[in-house]
Amino acid sequence: MVVFVSDWYHDTSTFILGEQLSTRGYNGSFAAPSPNSAILNGVGFFDCQRYAPGRQCQTRSQPLELLVRPNAKTRLRLVQSSSHALFRVSVDNHRLDIIEADATPVQNRFQMERVQIHGGERYSVILDTANDREGDAFYLRAAIDTDCLAPGLDTPAGNTARAVIRVTNQKTLPGASLPLPRDSDWPPSSIGTCYDVDSSALVPRMKPPPMTDVVGSVYFNVSFGTIVVADQVTASERRVLGRFFVDNTTYIAQLQRPLLHHKLQGGQGWLNSSEVASETLPTPGVWDIVINNLDVAREHPFHLHGVDRLRFVETYMCSQETPTVF
C-alpha cells in the first residue's frame, strides 16, 4: 500500500519562489515558509475560518481511510513528497518495522513508534495486525515537525494529517460513515528536532561490495551567504539578501530553460557556472563525492538522483563495514 506524505501550500511554488527571491520576501519573510496543511494521499485538513476573506474554501471533516486485513502484515510504502516539511509518521498502538529505505532492503535493529521522513525520502514499513480483530480501527498519523519551520502553521489540527486504518477482510466498506477511532497518539518522544531516522538502526540486507576501485574525487563547499541587489521600489538603494551557495555559486532557476535539457542530446552541452555549480565525471566508475559544510551551526540535507551510493564518512566518522546505503 503506497502512502504519499506531503505538505500543502495555498500559493503555487512558482509564486512562492518568486517572492522569496525578491526584495519583498514571501509574506514579508525570507525564511522557508511554513505549509498551510499536512496531507496523506492528497487528503488533509484546513480551518476555512482562517482563510482569506472572499476566497473559496471547504473544510473537509472525513479523513482518508485505509483497509488492512486482521492477523496480517501489511507493507506501507511511505513516499515523502513535501516541499519543505519533515514528518513523523506513526500508527497508534502499533510499532513499525522498517524494511526498505530509498529502494534498499534493510533490517531494522528495533521497531519504531515514529518514523521521521524528510522530503524526497521513501521508507517501507511493516504494519502487523496480529493482535487486531475484524472491525478494529486506529489512526495513521503524519505530524509535521514544526520546530524545523518558521512560524506560520494555521492550527494545531493542520499540523498533523490523519488516516483511519480499518481492520477488515472486506475489500470495501459501506458508504455510511463509521465511527472514528478513539486511540491516542504515542507519548512525546525524546528524538531531537529535525533529525532523520538514525542510520545506525538500519543495516542493508545484502551487504554491498566495498568500493575500493575509486576513479577520483570531486569536492563541493556549501554555505549560506548574501548577495546585494537593487531595491525593487527604490532602484537607487541596495538590499542584502540571504542565499545558499555551492562553490560560491547560488542557484538561479530558469523556469523556461530546464538544466537537464542543456546536457541532453540537442542541448548546448554545457552549464552556465554563474547559475549553477557543477562537476563533470569524465569516466565511468566509482567516485568519491566530498561535501564540505562550511556552516558551523547548521546542518543541510543532500541527496543524489539516479545512482546507487554509499556514505562512508560523516564528520570524521568512517565505516566500510556497515556503510549507509542511499
Q: pLDDT tens across 242-294, in order?
A: 888 999 998 877 777 777 777 776 777 778 888 888 888 899 888 888 999 99
Cell of 35: 505549509
The CATH class of the 2-204 domain is mainly beta
pLDDT at 230 > cutoff 50 = yes
> Residues near 211 by Cβ (< 8 Å), separated by ≥ 6?
286, 310
The highest-confidence range among 35-39, 71-75, 108-112, by mean pLDDT, is 71-75
List where CATH 2.60.40.420 sits in the chain: 2-204
Ordered alpha helix ranges (H), the chain:
13-20, 156-159, 259-263
CA 294 and chain centroid, separation: 23
| Helix, strand, coil percentages in the chain from 3-state DSSP, rounded to 5 | 10, 35, 55
The highest-confidence range among 1-5, 17-21, 234-238, 295-299, by mean pLDDT, is 1-5
Maximum Cα interatomic distance, the chain, rounded to a whole number of Å: 71
- What pLDDT was estimated at residue 261? 78
To the nearest whole percent, how much of the chain has pLDDT over 90? 34
Pick the range with the lowest mean pLDDT from 15-24, 72-81, 305-314. 305-314
pLDDT at 200 > cutoff 50 = yes
Give the whole-angstrom CA distance, residue 223 versus residue 250.
10
Give the whole-angstrom CA distance, residue 220 versus residue 143.
33
Average pLDDT for residues 79-93, to the nearest whole number?
93
CB atoms within 10 A of CB 53: 4
> Residues near 154 by Cβ (< 8 Å), separated by ≥ 6?
36, 37, 46, 47, 50
pLDDT grade, residue 318 (50/70/90)?
very low
Cβ–Cβ under 8 Å, residues 109 and 204: no
